[in-house]
Each structure stands twice: as structure tokens, then as C-alpha cells.
């Protein structure tokens, strides 16, 4: 007989997950209008109050290329201040349990993070990134891979010296928007290299939505065979083909327990236009229509995880409310279906029932809850030709 217990079929699948929020950084980096510091602070704080414990706040790179984050110091400073601490205390949240991350692709940004840390407003965790495609890596960092590995090794060492954790991100795992197909084996090796030089954890990034569920399951199975510590690994999926939730499911089945997402599925490549002016970003967009790209949607992901019975620590209804507010902030309909249709209601929607069923049951002399005629056998008997063999 078929095994029906999902966790027996996929014994590595977790019963609890951590879902980080990266709306304020990855989500807003793709927006072509300035999002105010006040809005960034509002959404980050509200996500924390809703249950988030891993959150990306900003990018500490040169604002000339990514002017959306020229308010980095203001945003970081708020979350080290008294007002935030008091708001947490009122909700019974210990600020020490929250990990604040800033992206620091190059060494000057790492140095900025260290300086901010010394001033008491720096991030707990920073991020450097390699791509398995040398062309994509060069587009992002302006270096060869060999150059960058040496820089990353140096940066990890100096960050560690002041108590900052370094996330090593491995990108273009399932394909590159520049050169196409990539090798999963290269990403496994890059993961080991990052850990060898001292990275705290690894983000495995589907940079442009190239991943497919079968290859996701294969890759994360390879990763956990090589490095069998699920807490070290973080899955990051982009949404360009409407199959990212299937990739999340495949990663769960392989045993991954850490994910990240954005409200409304915001995000993608850094914007090359802001307000009324072209900016550098990372060059031309990789997508035919940059309006229809982004990351896996936080609201829909949470509903899926919640309805699978997997623990996640969020107030789902509060996150759905935030998703509706986010549409007002960015000024357009976003990609979440859950903010429109909500969760599956266990008690149904009695208001949609047609009147008269109770009276009809009484008129026919049936019992409440009767599903088949009284004179039928309790169980159906299949025709011989359709019965299971053996």
C-alpha cells in the first residue's frame, strides 16, 4: 500500500521552519521610486512584531549605485534605539533574539558595517556573494572569482574579529541570466569554500527564477549529504515563472528549514532608475518586463507553510494585513493571492449556504449528515476490473 504520511515519505522534511523577511532590502531595491525611511522602519518593525526573527534591513554599498539605501544609517539606528526596545518589551520580545542583516557585497561596505558596529548601530550579520557564473559574478562585483574569494576571506576575518557574522551567498545555482546553464556541483563546492574561510551560514540563491522543483530537490539533497546541518543553509527563491512555491516545497522535502521571502513578492535586480533619474544599479535589467519579477511571496508562503501544519512563529493574519498595506505603499497590485483570498477557513463560510437544505432533509425523512441512501451498503463495492491488484 502507498505510504500516506508525508513526513515518512520525506523523513528530512522539517516540522518547524524559520522564514526571514528581506522586503526592506531585496524587496525595495527593485523599486523605481524612493521608499521613505519611515516606511522601511514601519514594515521592518511590524514584521518583527508579527514574528520575524531574521530580517534584512539595508544594503551598505555605495549609494551612487543603489540610492534606495542612502538612508541605511537612519534605518539601522532605529533598531538599536530606545523606542524599538520599548516596543519589543511591550510585546514580550527580546531584541537579542532578532538578527539584523545588511548586504555588503564589497570590502568598503564591510568596513562601513564594522564602523557602524563600533558605534553601536551596526548589523549583527552581513552578506557577501559569489556567483557560480563568472560573468554574472563580474556584473555584480566587478571582480574575478579568484579576486573575490581572497577579498571575502579577508572580510570574514575582520568582521569576525568585532563579532559580526558573515553570510556567504552562492548565486546562479540553477542557471544564470547571462550565460544560461550552470553546474550544481560548482555551487556545492562554493558552499564548502565559504564555510572553509569562516562564513557563519550560506544563502543558496536562485538569482533569476531559473530553479525547477526537481533540480531544487536534487541540489539541496546534495548539499545536506555534503554538509548535514540544516541550520547552516538558507533557501532564497526568485519568482519569474510562478513556480517558486513548488521549489520551496521541494526544498522542504529535501530537508531545508530556513527560507526568506518578501511581502507581495517584491524585489529582484537593483533598480537602474529611481524617481525621475537613471541610476547605475547593476546595468540593464535581465528581464523582458521588470514589473513581473520578484521573490517568493511572504504572504502566500506563510499560508502554505501554516496549512501544511509546519510551525513558523508568525501571526499570519497580521502579515496578510501588512501585505495589503504594502500595495498602498508601492502604489500597485502585488503578487500575493493570499491577501485577497485569505486562508482556508476551517469552519467554512456558512454565509454562502443556500437556504432550504434543512427543510428538504426533514421533508424527505433523511437524517442530518446522511450522505448516501439508507438502503445502500456502508462501503462502495468497486467493479472487479477496477479493484487494486493483489
DSSP string, 169-222: EEE-SS-BTTTB---HHHHHHHHHHHHHTT-SEEEEEETTS---HHHHHHHHHH
User: What mean pLDDT do residues 281-295 have?
Assistant: 87
Residue 224 has pLDDT above 90, yes or no: yes
- Whether 131 and 153 have beta carbons less than 8 Å apart is answered as no
pLDDT band at 208 (very low <50, low <70, confident <90, very high): confident
Beta strands 258-261 and 18-21, pairing class: parallel
Residue 390 has pLDDT above 80, yes or no: no
Return the pLDDT at 56.
98
Dist CA 76 CA 101 (whole Å): 10
| Mean pLDDT of all residues belonging to the chain | 96
**Per-residue pLDDT reduced to its tens digit, 233-287:** 999 999 988 899 999 999 999 999 999 999 999 998 899 999 999 999 988 998 8
Dist CA 61 CA 30 (whole Å): 15
Residue 95 has pLDDT above 80, yes or no: yes
pLDDT band at 346 (very low <50, low <70, confident <90, very high): confident
Return the pLDDT at 197.
98
CA 20 to chain centroid, in Å, comes to: 6
Return the pLDDT at 282.
86
Return the pLDDT at 291.
83
User: What mean pLDDT do residues 325-344 have?
Assistant: 94
Return the pLDDT at 1.
81
> Which helix (H) or strand (E) segment is 167 a member of?
strand 165-171
- Residue 18: all three cell numbers together: 524559520
Q: What percent of the chain has pLDDT over 70?
A: 100
Residue 5 per-residue DSSP state = -
Using CB atoms within 10 Å of the CB of residue 252, give its burial: 0 to 12 exposed, 13 to 18 middle, 19+ buried: buried
Reduced to 3 states (helix: H, G, I; strand: E, B; else coil), residue 290 is helix
pLDDT band at 217 (very low <50, low <70, confident <90, very high): very high
Return the pLDDT at 286.
85
Residue 344's alpha-carbon distances to 300, 304, 307, 322, 341, in angstroms, are 12, 10, 8, 19, 9
- What number of H helices and E strands is found in the chain? 15, 10
Domain ranges of the chain: 11-341
- Whether 233 and 17 have beta carbons less than 8 Å apart is answered as no
- Whether 235 and 17 have beta carbons less than 8 Å apart is answered as no
Backbone φ and ψ for 340, nearest 5 degrees, come out as -90, -45
Residue 292 has pLDDT above 90, yes or no: no
CA neighbor of 27 nearest in space, from 271, 362, 364: 271
- Whether 74 and 97 have beta carbons less than 8 Å apart is answered as no
Dist CA 247 CA 340 (whole Å): 23
Dist CA 178 CA 176 (whole Å): 5
Return the pLDDT at 62.
93
Q: What percent of the chain has pLDDT over 90?
A: 90
**Per-residue pLDDT reduced to its tens digit, 19-69:** 999 999 999 999 999 999 999 999 999 999 999 999 999 999 999 999 999
The Cβ of residue 181 has, within 10 Å, a number of other Cβ atoms equal to 10
User: What mean pLDDT do residues 287-303 have?
Assistant: 92
Taking the alpha carbons at both ends of the chain, their separation in whole angstroms is 10
Residue 17 has pLDDT above 90, yes or no: yes
Return the pLDDT at 10.
96
Burial 270-309 (b: 16+ CB within 10 A, else e): bbbebeeeebebbeebbeeebeebbbbbbbbbbbbbbeee
Return the pLDDT at 389.
87
CA neighbor of 76 nearest in space, from 113, 35, 36, 46: 113
Reduced to 3 states (helix: H, G, I; strand: E, B; else coil), residue 55 is strand
Beta bridge partners of 55: 21, 100
Q: Which CATH architecture has domain 11-341?
A: Alpha-Beta Barrel (3.20)
**Per-residue pLDDT reduced to its tens digit, 101-159:** 999 999 999 999 999 999 999 999 999 999 999 999 999 899 999 999 999 999 999 99
Any alpha helices (H) in the chain, and if so which ranges?
A: 6-9, 28-29, 37-49, 72-78, 82-90, 107-118, 134-141, 145-161, 184-196, 213-226, 244-254, 298-307, 316-330, 338-341, 357-364
Amino acid at each position: 500500500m502507498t505510504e500516506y504520511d508525508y513526513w515518512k515519505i520525506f523523513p528530512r522534511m522539517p516540522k518547524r521552519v524559520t522564514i526571514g523577511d528581506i522586503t526592506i532590502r531585496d524587496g525595495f531595491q527593485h523599486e523605481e521610486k524612493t521608499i521613505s525611511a519611515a516606511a522601511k522602519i514601519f514594515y521592518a518593525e511590524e514584521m518583527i512584531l508579527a514574528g520575524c526573527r531574521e530580517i534584512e534591513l539595508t544594503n551598505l554599498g555605495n549609494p551612487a549605485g543603489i540610492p534606495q539605501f542612502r538612508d541605511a544609517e537612519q534605518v539601522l539606528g532605529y533598531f538599536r534605539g530606545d523606542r524599538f526596545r520599548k516596543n519589543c518589551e511591550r510585546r514580550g520580545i527580546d531584541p537579542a533574539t532578532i538578527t539584523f542583516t545588511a548586504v555588503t557585497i564589497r570590502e568598503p561596505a564591510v568596513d562601513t558595517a564594522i564602523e557602524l558596529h563600533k558605534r553601536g548601530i551596526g548589523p549583527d550579520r552581513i552578506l557577501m556573494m559569489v556567483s557560480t557564473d563568472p560573468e554574472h559574478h563580474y556584473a555584480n562585483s566587478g571582480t574575478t572569482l579568484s579576486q573575490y574569494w581572497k577579498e571575502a576571506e579577508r572580510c570574514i576575518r575582520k568582521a569576525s574579529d568585532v563579532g559580526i557574522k558573515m553570510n556567504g551567498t552562492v548565486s546562479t545555482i540553477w542557471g544564470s541570466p547571462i550565460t544560461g546553464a550552470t553546474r550544481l556541483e560548482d555551487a556545492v563546492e562554493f558552499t564548502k569554500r565559504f564555510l572553509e574561510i569562516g562564513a557563519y551560514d550560506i544563502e543558496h540563491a536562485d538569482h533569476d527564477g531559473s530553479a525547477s522543483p526537481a533540480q531544487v530537490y536534487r541540489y539541496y539533497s546534495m548539499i545536506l549529504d555534503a554538509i548535514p546541518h540544516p541550520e547552516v543553509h538558507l533557501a532564497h527563491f526568485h519568482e519569474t515563472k510562478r513556480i517558486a512555491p513548488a521549489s520551496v516545497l521541494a526544498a522542504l522535502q529535501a530537508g531545508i528549514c530556513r527560507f526568506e521571502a518578501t511581502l507581495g513578492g517584491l524585489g529582484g535586480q537593483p533598480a537602474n532608475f529611481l524617481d525621475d533619474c537613471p541610476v547605475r544599479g547593476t546595468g540593464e535589467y535581465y528581464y523582458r518586463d521588470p514589473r513581473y519579477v520578484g521573490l517568493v511571496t511572504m504572504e502566500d508562503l506563510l499560508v502554505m507553510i501554516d496549512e501544511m501544519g509546519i510551525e513558523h512563529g508568525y501571526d499570519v493574519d497580521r502579515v496578510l494585513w501588512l501585505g495589503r498595506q504594502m500595495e498602498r505603499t508601492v502604489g500597485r497590485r502585488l503578487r500575493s493571492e493570499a491577501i485577497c483570498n485569505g486562508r482556508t477557513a476551517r469552519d467554512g463560510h456558512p454565509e454562502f449556504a443556500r437556504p432550504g437544505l434543512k427543510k428538504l432533509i426533514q421533508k424527505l425523512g433523511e437524517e442530518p449528515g446522511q450522505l448516501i441512501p439508507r438502503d445502500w451498503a456502508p462501503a462502495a463495492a468497486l467493479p472487479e476490473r477496477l479493484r487494486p491488484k493483489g
